[in-house]
Structure 1
Amino acid sequence: MSVLNADLGWGSANYQLAVYFENKPPVEVYQLTPGVNPLSHAEFSHIIQNSSNNWRKLFNCYAKLAFALDAKGFESWQNLRDAEMLGCRSEAALLFSKPNFEQESNRIHIISGRTYAAMLNLPFELNWLSPQFAINTQFNCIVSPYFDYRQLSNERLATLVKLVKSLATKNR
């Protein structure tokens, strides 16, 4: 992978599921951090305290998705969020870099937001399943609503979980 296509974000460098966002939180230290790095609970709290309510909502939607896909023994999505949501053992990542579809991989890519997906000029066609969701099964790519409560409602989250599980099953 070239430096221009290097992954940037939080989570496990060996992620199997990535969610892509256009913007980093407006906290200076996170504007310059290279690579994919685990996010500690203290860092998570720092971001929430020093950025907009949007980031709290985004993290909560991400935690709900992670919990629905694999509860990992946690009793609630809140417990998963607070313990290891984007830690090195999470097998997931929240990325701010453009998705890299050049590598052969079973990684699943979720692009948060239709507008952001359009800006990426993806190198393949998307099959729009509804105004909110699109998929390309060859490249394991899903376009979902933006990760906030209004756009990614519980019903839409359930749809996203089904789409991710269908790609994961295909990749086995």
Structure 2
Amino acid sequence: MVNTIRGLGDSNAQFRVYIGNRPAFKFAKSSDQYVPLLASELKEVGLACGNGWRKVFNVYAKLVFALAEQGPVASNVSQFDCWQAYRDKALLQADSDTALCFEPYQLALGRTNALHIIMGRTYAKSLHLSPDIVWLDNEFALDLASKLIVCPYFDYRQLSNSKIIRLVEIILQVNTDKHLPMRV
């Protein structure tokens, strides 16, 4: 049975990533809202739903961990020695300040202080985003006023380590320009 939840992680997250698909997985806690992952579920989703989901979680953890290396963010990231430990023990869990959103991004629904990242150019274009979005190149776009970034899909080839570094630089620009609270 495919779940009908709106996303995974912290429903009040300030770091929100939007994806155009969802895992066909029955989560222990189900609702129509955001479901914080249990520690074991991250691995279970990867096993049950395929390597693509494992890659999404890995790249998400690598991104948050790389961002934490650039300056102080939430204490929950700094307590881990590596991105793998952060992924397994904190990513998309209750009070993690991270969310993986299955609902399409809409400015009206966006949280005012949250950072919004849409993964995938094709998915972003299907959302008919604000004309204020500026494509920085063929893969990254930015709308500073909405604190919205479009980046490649969370996959090793599409969002490689060097592109993660580029995304971190863009996030830091948003943080500097708009004084975005970073509690990731």
Q: TM-score, normalising length from structure 1?
A: 0.89
Distance in 2 (alpha carbons) for counterparts of 1:28 and 1:10: 12
Structure 2: distance between partners of 1:104 and 1:152? 25
Task: Provide the C-alpha distance between the structure 1 equivalents of 2:61 and 2:155, rounded to a whole number of angstroms.
Answer: 12
Distance between the aligned counterparts of 1:165 and 1:35, measured in 2? 29
**1:151 corresponds to which residue?**
158
| 1:129 corresponds to | 136
Q: Is 1:95 matched with 2:101?
A: yes
Give 1:155 deviation, angstroms: 0.7
Q: Work out whether residues 43 and 54 of structure 2, in 8 Å CA contact, stay in contact via their aligned partners in 1.
A: no
Structure 2: 5+ residue stretches without partners: 69-76, 180-184
Unmatched runs of 5 consecutive residues or more in structure 1: 1-6
**4+ runs of 1 displaced by more than 4 Å?**
none
User: Where does residue 74 of structure 1 map in the other structure?
Assistant: 80
Partner of 1:34: 32
- More displaced 10-residue stretch of structure 1: 65-74 or 127-136: 65-74
Match of 2:116 among 99, 109, 124: 109
3-state SS of paired residue (2:40): helix
- Which amino acid in the other structure matches residue 148 of structure 1? D
Equivalent of 1:59 in 57, 61, 71: 57
Q: How far 1:27 moved relative to its partner?
A: 2.1
Q: 1:104–1:52: structure 2 CA closer, same or farther, 3 Å change rule?
A: closer
| Aligned position for 1:4 | none
Distance 1:69 1:115 in 2: 25
TM-fit CA distance, 1:166? 1.6
Q: Which residue of 2 aligns with 1:142?
A: 149
CA contact under 8 A between 1:106 and 1:171: conserved in structure 2?
no
Alpha carbon RMSD of aligned pairs, Å?
1.8
How far apart are residue 37 of structure 1 and its match? 1.9
The number of equivalent residue pairs is 165
